[in-house]
Amino acid sequence: MDPKLTEVSQYFERFKAACVREDIDTSANLLSQLKVLLTSFRSLPPLFEVTPNAVQELTIARDIYEHAVLLSVKMGDQDAFERDFFQLKPYYTDARKRLPRSPQEHMILGLNLLRLLVQNRIAEFHTELELLPAESLEDPCIKHAVELEQSFMEGAYNRVLTAKQTVPNQSYDYFMDLLAKTVRDEIAGCSEKAYDFLSINDARQMLLFSSDNELLKYINEEHPEWEIKDGSVIFQKAKETAPCKEIPSLQLINQTLSYARELERIV
């Protein structure tokens, strides 16, 4: 085998061992060294040259990036995740014909979709979804993300929270926790508009706190305008937006001026 390839494989083995040990620092170091070594291979994107060792090089590079992505999830670093995922993507799309399918492909794609959902980048979520062929949508990891997005859009937040139990993979937990926090904020926002008041018990159940104190702390920090009286939370419905009877004069003036200008042009 090519000496460079052997070197890379050895480093890769050490990297994998460090990941399993949950040794974040060594893994990160080894990863940067591996990335530097990978630049010497000419068969990788963006060059995609055809060399005798192309398939092995591509496979090793892809495995390295997959592990990098999983590592970034463990570190909780979303930017690193994005970077590594973008580097991994050409291996899935352009090099599809040259390599056999990776077993972790769907899991990683599902992770990416989940990340976009958590960051509220729904347009990119859908664009990514379009790129997937129809049969990928049957895969449990991807299906999980898609159903999650649907429940989120519809507003069935309790479904979102129960989905937390049915994660296909350990690494999803990090994003699910972030999602839970977003969901809680959303529920609070909806409840504000939908209910006049809620008893403390109900509020606690809805917002998924385990004790009244946590609930009170949350309200104090995030929603100071809610009042707490007689064991119930009253949302500020009293300050209803007084139907503003004022005429939006500036807008009207602009519109009328534009009509006059256009009419002038019609000669």
Site stretch for other proteins (CB under 8 A), options 26-34, 75-83, 194-202, 213-221: 194-202
The stretch near other proteins (CB under 8 A) out of 27-35, 46-54, 58-66, 148-156 is 148-156
Contact (CB, 8 A) for 53 and 59: no
In this chain, which of 6, 9, 33, 127 binds other proteins, going by CB under 8 A?
Answer: 127
Is residue 259 close enough to count as binding other proteins by CB under 8 A?
yes
**How buried is residue 27: exposed, middle or buried, by Cβ count under 10 Å (0-12/13-18/19+)?**
buried
Decide: is 43 part of the binding site for other proteins (CB under 8 A). no
**SS3 for 197?**
strand
SS3 244: coil
Query: Could you tell me if 214 and 184 are in contact, meaning their C-beta atoms sit under 8 angstroms apart?
Result: no
Do 152 and 117 touch, CB atoms closer than 8 A?
yes
Query: Mask 172-191, x = binds other proteins (CB under 8 A)?
Result: --------------xx-xxx
Tell me the per-residue interface mask from 234 to 253 with other proteins, x by CB under 8 A, - otherwise.
---------x----x---x-
In this chain, which of 92, 195, 209, 218 binds other proteins, going by CB under 8 A? 195
DSSP conformation letters of 33-77: HHHHHHTT-TTSTTT----TTHHHHHHHHHHHHHHHHHHHHHHT-
**Contact residues: other proteins, CB under 8 A:** 122-124, 126-127, 129-131, 134, 146, 150, 153-159, 186-187, 189-196, 198-199, 202, 243, 248, 252, 255, 258-259, 262, 265-266
